[in-house]
Amino acid sequence: MQSYIQYRQLRHSVNRNLEVSSFMGQKIFHASPVDVPGKTSDSLGAEIGQKCPEDPEKALSDNGCSGVDSLRGIQVKLRSGATGSPLKEVFVVGWEGEHDPLDPRNFSLSKRMIATIMVSVLSFSVGAASSITAAVLPQSSKDLNVSEVAGSLVTGMYLFGFATGALVSGPLSEIFGRNMVYLSSLIIFMIFVMASALAPNYGAELIFRFLSGAFGSPPLTCAGGTIADLWNPLEKTLAFPFYAIFSFSGPILAPVISSYMGQSSLGWRWANWIILIMSSIVLVIIILIQPETYAPLLLKWKAKHLRMKADDTRFVSEMDISHAEVGAFARIYNALKREFLLTFQEPIIILISLYMTVIYITIFTFFDGYEFIFGDVYGLSQGLTNIIWLAMFVGMMLAACHVPFIYRWTKIEFVQTEEKNDSTHTRPENRLWFAMLGAPAIPIGLFWMAWTDFSHISVWSPIVASVFVGYGTILVFTSSYMYVIDVYDIYAASALSFMTVSRYYVAGGMTVAGIPFYRNVGVHYTLTILACISSLMTLVPYIFYRYGPNIRGRSKYATNNHSIASVAT
């Protein structure tokens, strides 16, 4: 609905622009002999009382020759045609000034906040689907006639599907826009969630979970792009942590939502029905109020209106040009190729991906491990064990208290850069402040939980320890994404895709390994191993904060002379 309204608003904007300009009145065409057979640009200019330069490059300095000098937001460029053809003049459509209200960055504050909330809620829904079945594992495994180890693969298959879908989600959103990808994938996601709820056997359940994960990946994969569409770099210091906390809450709170379903008369299948109901509500709201935020697509619509209204095929958008040069399949292939190149060539991507993978291993093995940590040691019921996930959510909310302070520090950095007018001032490392505050909390919480998880010690000790894990996890997650986006700029989508794929594939495998690990190694040593690995990874944000500029200087893809965007007043 909102996309259709935007489409109409762009058409009205085009009509107003043409009405106040002299373009339709003079309609002077600059043509080459190829454009109008038998006539040169000189003869055409003589017919209308104006001589156009024969050299098309000189014509660019005289927009009056093109007749677009009075149109706002139009840039005249030369574009090469087929091999051997002369350069052709095109009118590249842009926004009508810096404060064009149709530019997503210029939406009202309330509209941008609503759009951010909606994509956060959508990410919460598909994220919750990943872990909600883990809370009913004993009942689902019994009903499907498999062991609990095999039953845990139901969660793993969703993560495998999620990683697979993330490979193409980013490029698709840059071809069809954000809303089209969100809505189409969500509808198919809901179909497979319903199929999972109705699955007659274990094999069908695995297939439907994989497919629901594959089509549930776009919101989490593309949401960072939506945030970037709406907020400038400074505003993202506030907006992105909000999105990160909300979306990461999905897997954390899902066991709480389904905590007592398995033991109640509802049954384990209602875990899927709850996701379906939640997703249906989100789908309706998104259709009604979520605007399209991908600016290149909006400009493509605007160029289409101009071509139709002015009856002139020279009006194009940058998106029209890029898509004409590189097809959809080629764009997806190039994106996949770039992801693998980044994998082997970029130490920043390798280390941050490894760090995120360790965090996801910890979180997703907890879905199996909480039964051992709290159920076996303290004798808590299945439902109460799942409720304990609220403690990690509390830690995430405590982490949000840092956001105003880090925003203030970031704004000071931005203002100082503007005062120096230093276009080569490199400060993407300021995005690491979140991780530097939170990284030590993860091994502290894991060691604490490992060696106070005894029946003679209060259950509140490991519960409070999990607060630290939640606190550190969300801060590292937030920093990792923001840092990679700032460092890799136009290659950020490929970098983030690899980070998503790697951590979800590994986490999917660990959901199956989690039960044997806790059972055979024991709670104390399993958590100690995770704490030791996390301790080593704690150094990553500090290393990049100190040596990040040098590492980026040797990179082929990183932004070496990173200019900080202007602070919004």
Q: What is the 3-state secondary structure (H, E, C) of 432-465?
A: HHHHHHHCCHHHHHHHHHHHHCCCCCCCHHHHHH
Task: Sort 297 into a burial class: Cβ within 10 Å, 0-12 / 13-18 / 19+.
Answer: buried
DSSP 84-129: TPPPEEEEEE--SSTT-TTSGGGS-HHHHHHHHHHHHHHHHHHHHH
Q: How far is CA 53 from the centre of its chain?
A: 47
Domain boundaries, the chain: 1-102+294-325, 104-293+331-541
Residue 567: per-residue pLDDT: 39
Residue 350: per-residue pLDDT: 87
* CA–CA separation, 210 and 15 (whole Å): 48
Give the residue from 127, 110, 504 showing the smallest Cα distance to 282.
127
Give the residue from 502, 435, 511, 408 showing the smallest Cα distance to 244.
435
For 35-62, write each residue's pLDDT tens digit: 444 444 344 333 333 444 445 444 444 4
Three-point CA angle 429, 430, 431, nearest 5°: 85
Q: How far is CA 7 from the centre of its chain?
A: 24
* Tokens found for residue 60: 């660019």
Collapsing DSSP to helix, strand or coil, 409 comes out as helix
* Partners of 89 in beta bridges: 78
Low-confidence stretches of the chain (pLDDT < 50) are 28-54, 56-64, 423-425, 561-569
Residue 209: per-residue pLDDT: 94
Collapsing DSSP to helix, strand or coil, 74 comes out as strand
* CA–CA separation, 173 and 496 (whole Å): 14
For 312-327, write each residue's pLDDT tens digit: 787 888 877 777 767 6
Give the residue from 360, 359, 364 showing the smallest Cα distance to 518.
364
Please give the CATH architecture assigned to the domain spanning 104-293+331-541. Answer: Up-down Bundle (1.20)
Residue 445: per-residue pLDDT: 95
Give the residue from 203, 184, 185, 192 showing the smallest Cα distance to 275.
192
Residue 444: per-residue pLDDT: 95
* CA–CA separation, 515 and 35 (whole Å): 71
Q: How far is CA 209 from the centre of its chain?
A: 22
* Tokens found for residue 310: 């002015």
Is-contact 43 37, C-beta < 8 A?
no
Instruction: Give me the count of residues in the chain.
Output: 569
What's the pTM? 0.84
Dihedral angle at the C-alpha atoms of 390, 392, 396, 398, nearest 10 degrees?
80
Residue 197: per-residue pLDDT: 92
Instruction: Tell me 21's DSSP state.
Output: S
Residues 6+ apart with CB under 8 A from 550: none
The torsion angles phi and psi of 299, rounded to 5 degrees, stand at -70, -30
* CA–CA separation, 452 and 437 (whole Å): 24
Collapsing DSSP to helix, strand or coil, 355 comes out as helix
Place of tokens 């497979």: 192
Residues 6+ apart with CB under 8 A from 409: 430, 433
Q: Count Cβ atoms below 10 Å from residue 108 Cβ, excluding itself.
A: 9
* CA–CA separation, 337 and 343 (whole Å): 10
Buried b (16+ CB within 10 A) or exposed e, 29-60: bbbbeeeeeeeebeebbeeeeeebbeebeebb
Place of tokens 């959103």: 173
Q: How far is CA 387 from the centre of its chain?
A: 29
Query: Largest Cα–Cα distance of the chain, in whole Å?
Result: 99
Residue 167: per-residue pLDDT: 82
For 69-125, write each residue's pLDDT tens digit: 667 777 777 776 555 566 677 778 888 888 888 888 889 999 999 999 999 999 999
* Tokens found for residue 200: 């007659």
The letter for the amino acid at 498 is F
